[in-house]
Amino acid sequence: MVASNSAVVLIVEDEPLIRFNILDVLEDVGHVALEAANADEAMVVLKSRQDVDILFTDVNMAGSMDGIQLAKRVRAMRPNIGIIITSGMVRLDPMALPANAAFLPKPYMHDTLITTIDSLMT
């Protein structure tokens, strides 16, 4: 599968193996993948990079905020960024998400993630 639009995606995931796997998948289809192990690292990346198109974050993470709090902060900072929230522990109602956001329950297929990124880029 090849991404229809190349995007800069910030992956925020505290499990290194999951984070590295997603990074490889996204780069293999033509996206630029950045990584952060928690929300605090993600905020540092977002302050230094204005070209991030998509935030892909897990809900449950150690640190000063979880993925939902991170998504809200990012939405306030950058209203145009696409946001994908994922979790295997909680289920979020997609209808309750803000515009240009999606929820992917774990486990998800890589093709579903790529398709979701593409849909948020259009």
Per-residue pLDDT tens over the stretch 58-106: 999 988 999 989 999 999 999 999 999 999 888 877 776 777 899 999 9
Confidence at residue 89, expressed as pLDDT on a 0 to 100 scale: 84
Round to whole Å and give the CA distance between 83 and 113: 12
Q: Using one digit for the tens of pLDDT, what is the confidence trace for 20-54?
A: 999 999 999 999 999 999 999 999 999 999 999 99
Smallest Cα–Cα separation from 75: which of 57, 93, 95, 92? 57
Confidence at residue 28, expressed as pLDDT on a 0 to 100 scale: 96
Confidence at residue 81, expressed as pLDDT on a 0 to 100 scale: 96
Confidence at residue 88, expressed as pLDDT on a 0 to 100 scale: 84
Sheet with 54-58, side-by-side order of all strands: 32-36, 8-12, 54-58, 82-87, 101-105
